[in-house]
């Protein structure tokens, strides 16, 4: 890095710990609502009796609607965030999103104690899911941009935190179930209340961690883009100590800095350069303009990474089409006490642990290579998990037979399904920036984030017909 040679150290790995917590915090909303399916289904699908007969309750398709209304805002606000980052400061986007997520979690916790008619409870919960995931999308996109300014290993730490968010939620649900005595309505509400207070505390810790980040010298060194780094860079450019592009800077030889009337352009970078009265700032802006001119267009980058874009879209399409809309309705072959824990353990905990393992494996070896034709073939082959999971003991069912009634078969399929999902997603996301020039890596990352969200949305939409087919 020009202008600085005394690079500070991450003492005590504090910056790494903070970004792990930030990664965990970004996926808490989705995972805590998804893992709480037994609670929501219990409030919506209670059995009613009339004159000694069971009244057929209304089917809300909560799993499907929750998945769809979680992923659509992710897609929309991932696009919106690309415009927001230019107009709204990073502090407002990140801290503001965390505050609103905290308030929405508090609302969900309060509703545990509030008796409510089922249709109204369903509508309020769906609205909460939409808004909490909208803020979560802005938060996630902003933090991906923030961690991208640090050395590469911090991106891995951030994604590791994201990978463990689901496990954190699943363990919290297991503790809530274990503490539920069920002896009275008040006793049965307490575990659910404690469950939803947990992400409130987690979100508060995430917020305080983010606010503490600028106080660390290591973080300040990399994240302060308008401070010491730019000053040091422009000083060297002005002194001519280090020529840029063989002594030419923005068309001028000998490191000379263009004045406000030279080489006028029509682009936003050139317009900002022309209106800038500060010579030091002009030098930095002129270098930035040169870099922008050399960057490939979005279409050119997409042509290079389209295979990886297809792969990440297809992986999440397959994953979200059956998880959790189909998998959460699988019933155990051993009812009684195990039934209370079955979905939390064999669906959510197994999925999240193995998804994290799949992501971690990519740090040890990466196969197939990014040039291999086998890579997209293996990604497409994951479609076999859709019928396999639909043929497990999903209840109620209308059309398909049950071929895998045993818990062990379902657990094995879920483990392979989730470890392959984490592995191929992480591999696709890491391969894409490697397929373009370093100057275009940021564009490639933004495109991959969009296609990731697209895959989630397509998968959520597919979950409706797939659940109906069962």
353 closest CA partner among 409, 421, 408, 410: 421
Place of tokens 């930030």: 22
Give, for all 470 residues of the chain, the pLDDT tens digit.
444 556 788 888 999 999 999 999 998 888 999 888 888 888 887 655 555 555 556 778 888 899 889 888 888 887 777 676 668 888 898 999 999 999 999 999 999 999 999 999 999 999 999 999 999 988 888 887 788 778 878 877 887 888 889 899 999 989 888 887 655 555 567 888 899 999 999 999 999 999 999 898 888 888 774 344 334 433 443 444 444 444 443 444 344 444 444 444 455 555 555 665 555 555 555 655 555 556 778 899 899 999 999 999 999 999 999 999 999 999 998 887 788 899 999 999 999 999 989 988 887 888 999 999 999 999 999 999 999 999 999 999 989 999 999 999 999 999 999 999 999 998 898 888 888 887 787 678 778 888 988 999 999 999 999 999 99
- Beta partners for 394? 330
Q: Please identify which residue in the block is written with the tokens 């397509």.
A: 458
pTM of the model: 0.76
pLDDT confidence of residue 243: 44
Strand partners, 313: none
Provide the 3-class DSSP secondary structure of residue 358.
Answer: helix
Query: CA quadruple 389, 393, 395, 401: dihedral positive or negative?
Result: positive
Distance CA 17, CA 209 (A): 9
Exposure string of 146-156, with b = 16+ CB inside 10 Å and e = fewer, is: bbeebeeebbb
Specify the long-range contacts of residues 378-385, CB closer than 8 Å, at least 24 apart: 378/424, 379/311, 379/314, 379/315, 379/424, 379/428, 380/314, 382/314, 382/315, 382/318, 382/417, 382/420, 382/421, 382/424, 383/318, 385/318, 385/322, 385/413, 385/416, 385/417, 385/420
Q: What is the spatial distance between Cα 127 and Cα 110, in angstroms, rounded to a whole number? A: 15
- The three-class DSSP label of residue 296 is coil
Alpha helix positions (H), 27-117: 28-35, 37-44, 62-87, 90-111
- What pLDDT is recorded for position 468? 93
Residue ranges covered by each domain of the chain = 12-44+58-224, 225-294, 297-470
Q: Assign domain 12-44+58-224 to its CATH architecture.
A: Up-down Bundle (1.20)
Do residues 28 and 169 make contact, with C-beta atoms less than 8 angstroms apart?
yes
- Please name the residue that has the structure tokens 């280090």: 242
């Amino acid at each position: 890095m020009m202008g600085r040679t005394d690079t500070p150290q991450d003492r005590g790995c504090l910056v790494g710990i903070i970004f792990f917590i930030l990664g965990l915090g970004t996926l808490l909303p989705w995972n805590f609502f998804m893992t709480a399916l037994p609670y929501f289904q219990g409030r919506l699908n209670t059995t009613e009796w009339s004159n000694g007969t069971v009244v057929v309750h209304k089917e809300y398709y909560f799993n499907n609607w929750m998945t769809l209304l979680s992923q659509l805002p992710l897609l929309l606000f991932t696009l919106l965030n690309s415009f927001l980052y230019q107009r709204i400061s990073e502090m407002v986007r990140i801290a503001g999103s965390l505050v609103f997520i905290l308030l929405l979690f508090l609302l969900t916790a309060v509703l545990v104690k509030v008796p409510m008619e089922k249709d109204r409870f369903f509508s309020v919960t769906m609205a909460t899911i939409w808004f909490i995931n909208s803020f979560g999308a802005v938060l996630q996109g902003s933090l991906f941009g923030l961690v991208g300014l640090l050395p590469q290993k911090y991106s891995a730490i951030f994604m590791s935190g994201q990978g463990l968010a689901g496990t954190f939620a699943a363990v919290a649900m297991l503790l809530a179930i274990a503490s539920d005595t069920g002896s009275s309505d008040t006793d049965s509400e307490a575990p659910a209340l404690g469950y939803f207070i947990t992400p409130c505390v987690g979100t508060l810790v995430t917020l305080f961690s983010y606010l503490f980040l600028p106080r660390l010298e290591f973080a300040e060194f990399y994240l302060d883009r308008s401070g010491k780094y730019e000053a040091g860079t422009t000083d060297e450019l002005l002194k001519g100590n280090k020529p840029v592009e063989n002594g030419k800077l923005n068309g001028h030889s000998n490191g000379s800095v263009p004045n406000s009337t030279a080489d006028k352009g029509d682009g936003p970078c050139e317009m900002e350069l022309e209106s800038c009265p500060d010579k030091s700032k002009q030098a930095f802006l002129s270098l930035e303009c040169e870099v922008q001119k050399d960057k490939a267009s979005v279409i050119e980058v997409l042509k290079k990474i389209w295979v990886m874009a297809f792969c990440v879209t297809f992986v999440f399409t397959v994953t979200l089409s059956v998880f959790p809309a189909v998998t959460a309705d699988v019933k155990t072959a051993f009812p009684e006490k195990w039934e209370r824990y079955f979905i939390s353990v064999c669906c959510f905990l197994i999925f999240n642990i193995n998804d994290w393992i799949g992501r971690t494996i990519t740090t040890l070896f990466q196969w197939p290579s990014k040039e291999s034709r086998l890579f997209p073939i293996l990604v497409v082959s994951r479609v076999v998990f859709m019928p396999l999971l639909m043929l497990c003991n999903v209840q109620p069912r209308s059309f398909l037979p049950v071929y895998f009634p045993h818990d062990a078969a379902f657990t094995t399929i879920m483990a392979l399904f989730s470890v392959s999902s984490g592995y191929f997603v992480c591999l696709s996301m890491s391969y894409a920036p490697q397929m373009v020039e370093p100057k275009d890596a940021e564009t490639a990352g933004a495109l991959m984030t969009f296609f990731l969200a697209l895959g989630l949305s397509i998968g959520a939409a597919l979950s409706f017909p797939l659940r109906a087919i069962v």
